[in-house]
A and B are shown apart, each in its own frame.
Chain A
Amino acid sequence: MSLVLRLLRQWDIQLMVIPGLILILIFSYIPMYGVLMAFQNYSLYKGFFHSPWVGFKHFEMFFHSPEFFQVIRNTLVISLLKLCIGFPAPIILALMLNEVKNMLFKRIVQTVTYLPHFMSWVIVGGIMMSLLSTDNGSVNLLLTRLNLIEDPIHFLSLPEWFWGILVSTNVWKEIGFGSIVYLAAIAGIDPSLYEAASMDGASKFKQIYLITLPAIMPVIIIFMILAIGNLLNAGFEDILLLAGNPVLRGVSDVIDTYVYRVGIQNSRYSYATAVGLFKAILSIGLLTAANYLAKRSGNSLW
């Protein structure tokens, strides 16, 4: 039976997938091909097919631009800070929640801490601006009451505060939601292990260290690897919203926000695409390396 005939026979299920595939081809594959404009001097009037090719010019421009060092440094610092603080936080929360025997209290804490995850960054940003403001910000109010500071601090216009604020806001928003996976992993541990340990006189702390942590280690490793693969995604919405003040640009500009500013706001399309492509290539390298590590630890991603 010819292929055409077989295809016609199953026209109904082909009809289920072909429209979806066309959408994917249009909205995912055309932009992938469009990445080639990083090697062009793209102009809106000439269009993709008539713009002149310029090779690696835009990449070189980026490497030699005054922003290069700053953008790379911010990306790495913010990302590593998020990794070092934001990654362990939900694990610690899950371990603590697991020790709570009062179910009502546990449920309340869970419900409350999951909530910020569902808020948009606009709302979270607005709340933070209000909390940190100088006229009625609760943080400044508290610090003044405690006599720690004389005058209110302009938290969101001082570069030295930005990284701390960004990372704590992220932890605040995601700690509860991030703990769900670890709680589920903990729930799967055989309770007789704990019984045996406490018979042997192991303290609670020792039980966490010797039973719980090793038991959830595979989950931790997988999420660690994913986090390493995402190392260059230092943040986007959170930075756009919390670093509204241009004074902060020296510490807030990461690759993604730089691409947005240069590309969308200043319309330097080819240059911004080149910067984005540079990041994408590094990211694929990171992901491959992370997966290599995963395979060695026996937890491959694909």
Chain B
Amino acid sequence: MQVTRLPFSDRLMHVVIYFLLLLLAISTLYPFWNSLVISFNKGLDTSMGGVTFWPRSFTVENYQIVFKDQRLLNGFAISILRTILGTVLSILATSVFAYGLSKRELIGRQYYMIICIITMYFSGGLIPAFLLIRGLGLVNSFWVYIIPSLIGVWNMIIFKTFFQELPKGLEESANIDGCGNWGIFLRIILPLSGPVVATLSLFTAIAHWNDWFLPSIYITNENLLPIQTMLRQILNSNIATEQMANMDAAAQSQMAKMQSVTGKSLSMATMMVATLPIVLVYPFVQKYFVKGVLVGSLKE
């Protein structure tokens, strides 16, 4: 049996490519792994240096403190609430909006579309938006997370394109059965839009979960800060001494028992908990986001 052998240069190239890709994968994973290891290592021990691939003196103290700190727990709760509520409401509002705009008989359709598309190219910028939110009284309100981002023009265009490609017969037969436009949308169109809804929800949810900037300028009330913004404050105060100083009594008494915890080990543990939801859903949604990227770039 004859095996067709690749020329030497091709085999060499394959070896180089596999090596480089392996290197890339390792250098992508290592920073996460190292952070995870530090979060499971005793803080004092970490500060002596040399902790890399494996915890040197294993502990769960860091996590115990994170889960005892009421402020951090509250931050997680705000993040979860904001992500769920923000995603559901935004996807609903945007899809209804897009369905209306997908109707050819809609009077003023072209003008409405122009109004939407202009916002993709021009924006007032940070300061006028900031003053508007202040003027509307949304500062220090939970609704600042939800209302301004209710309608996503980009998502609207993707929804609209999808709705327009659905067979017209569906709507016509429902119309004959006496179903109104809202009924058609809620009972027929939306259930048929599973993949698009899933993809856009995924990206919306991730944006909500990861956002730290908006609360950092609009929210001063600590009870409303999401975990990402808290994390930023902790990391910013370099060593998280401030976090320790502001801890409530329960966490502090826990802390007193665990002399070996440092700011760094604590912030690593907090970071790992904040990353966890994304890492957990990531394997299940991978096929959706690949689709989403392609839908998005097709429209470009």
Which of B125, B267, B282, B297: most chain A CB closer than 10 A?
B125
Given known A-B contacts A7-B107, A277-B125, A16 and B99 have beta carbons under 8 A apart: yes
Tell me, rounded to whole Å, the shortest Cβ–Cβ distance linking B90 to chain A: 11
Q: Does A10 contact B (CB under 8 A)?
A: yes
* Option from A10, A120, A284 in Cβ contact (under 8 Å) with B107: A10
Given contact pairs A17-B101, A203-B7, enumerate 12 new A-B contacts (beta carbons under 8 Å): A24-B119, A27-B147, A32-B123, A109-B22, A111-B286, A112-B29, A115-B28, A126-B35, A130-B34, A181-B293, A241-B235, A244-B238
Given known A-B contacts A123-B274, A263-B126, A141 and B52 have beta carbons under 8 A apart: yes
Q: Do the beta carbons of A33 and B290 come within 8 Å of each other?
A: no
Q: Do the beta carbons of B126 and A260 come within 8 Å of each other?
A: yes
When chains A and B are docked, how far (Å) is the Cα of A118 from the Cα of B282? 9
Q: Do the beta carbons of B14 and A112 come within 8 Å of each other?
A: no
Chain A 69-100, CB within 8 Å of chain B: the 1/0 string? Answer: 00000000000000000000000010011011
Which of A19, A21, A136, A273: most chain B CB closer than 10 A?
A136
Question: Which residue of the partner chain B has the closest CB to A112?
Answer: B25
Q: Do the beta carbons of B96 and A20 come within 8 Å of each other?
A: yes
Question: Which residue of the partner chain B has the closest CB to A201?
Answer: B7
Q: Does B228 contact A (CB under 8 A)?
A: yes
Q: Do the beta carbons of B294 and A181 come within 8 Å of each other?
A: yes
Q: Do the beta carbons of A126 and B206 come within 8 Å of each other?
A: no
* Option from A3, A23, A30, A241 in Cβ contact (under 8 Å) with B151: A23
Given known A-B contacts A16-B99, A172-B28, A28 and B34 have beta carbons under 8 A apart: no
Q: Could you say which residues of chain B place their CB within 8 Å of the CB of A175? A: 24
Q: Could you say which residues of chain A place their CB within 8 Å of the CB of B47? A: 135-136
Tell me the A residues contacting B by CB distance below 8 Å: 3, 6-7, 10, 12-17, 19-21, 23-35, 37, 48, 93, 96-97, 99-100, 105, 108-109, 111-116, 118-123, 125-131, 133, 135-136, 138, 141, 172, 175-177, 180-181, 184, 203-205, 219, 222, 226, 237, 240-241, 244, 256, 259-260, 263-264, 269, 272-273, 276-277, 280, 284, 287, 301
Interface pick from B63-71, B192-200, B211-219: B211-219
When chains A and B are docked, how far (Å) is the Cα of A219 from the Cα of B300? 10
Q: Do the beta carbons of A129 and B206 come within 8 Å of each other?
A: no
Tell me, rounded to whole Å, the shortest Cβ–Cβ distance linking A72 to chain B: 17
Q: Does B177 contact A (CB under 8 A)?
A: no
Q: Do the beta carbons of B124 and A10 come within 8 Å of each other?
A: no
Question: Which residue of the partner chain B has the closest CB to A207?
Answer: B10
Tell me, rounded to whole Å, the shortest Cβ–Cβ distance linking A249 to chain B: 15
Q: Do the beta carbons of B28 and A21 come within 8 Å of each other?
A: no
Chain B 120-136, CB within 8 Å of chain A: the 1/0 string? Answer: 01111111111110001
Q: Do the beta carbons of A96 and B51 come within 8 Å of each other?
A: no
When chains A and B are docked, how far (Å) is the Cα of A222 from the Cα of B298? 11
Q: Could you say which residues of chain A place their CB within 8 Å of the CB of B22? A: 109
Q: Could you say which residues of chain A place their CB within 8 Å of the CB of B25? A: 108-109, 112-113
Chain B 129-167, CB within 8 Å of chain A: the 1/0 string? Answer: 111100010000000000110110100100000000000
Q: Do the beta carbons of B28 and A13 come within 8 Å of each other?
A: no
Q: Do the beta carbons of A264 and B131 come within 8 Å of each other?
A: no
Q: List 19 A-B contacts (CB under 8 A).
A: A12-B180, A13-B181, A14-B100, A15-B100, A21-B115, A26-B136, A33-B124, A35-B124, A105-B21, A114-B289, A115-B28, A115-B282, A121-B212, A122-B210, A130-B38, A177-B293, A204-B9, A263-B126, A264-B127
Question: Which residue of the partner chain A has the closest CB to B31?
Answer: A127
Q: Do the beta carbons of B231 and A204 come within 8 Å of each other?
A: no
